[in-house]
Amino acid sequence: MKDKKSAERVTISLEAGLLEQFDRFLEEKGYGNRSEGIRDAVRQLLAQNRVEANESAPCVGCVTYVYDHHERQLSSRLMEAQHHHHEIPAATLHLHIDKDNCLEATVLRGSVAEVRHVANRITSQTGVRNGQLHIIPVDAGD
């Protein structure tokens, strides 16, 4: 059995245009070589698959949302949505964008289903203009 830390050499074939795009991407992102970029892409694909395949998997998530701070009772409703599931939210960052808009980023932790549920409760509030959830699995992902 191979050690999990040892690397195995593989060969792949890519169309010329796809390889050119990938090389530009690697350069823009500052990757040292193609192998580092391929490893990150594979990790990302596998992490996404784990999140989609198992709603009970442990994860952390960050829900970011922009809202109108003039919306009546919205701050209270947002706080209530988080307090109702007090074990899921871990931290919130608040930023004043302009005279009408605020951005909040709330870190959530729990199962994929729990994190999605709380994020949906937050982003579905009247006055929340836009919201996005990013989920990262915290299991080993062997």
Q: Are 130 and 62 found together in one domain?
A: yes
Per the structure, the complete domain to which residue 35 belongs is given by: 16-53
| Rounded Cα distance, 38 and 139, in Å | 21
64 and 132 part of one domain: yes
What is the reported pLDDT for 15?
Answer: 95
DSSP H helix total and E strand total for the chain: 4, 4
Our count of domains for the chain comes to: 2
- For residues 120 and 86, membership in a common domain is answered with yes
Which pLDDT score is estimated for 85?
72
Residues of the chain with pLDDT under 70: 1-4, 86, 140-142
pTM, full prediction: 0.75
**Is there a single domain that holds both residue 89 and residue 41?**
no
Residues 49 and 71 in one domain: no
Q: Which two tokens stand for residue 64?
A: 């970011």
pLDDT in tens, 111-141: 999 999 999 999 998 899 999 999 999 875 5
Q: Check residue 80 and give its pLDDT.
A: 77
Tokens 């169309």, located at residue: 15
Q: What is the pLDDT of residue 141?
A: 54
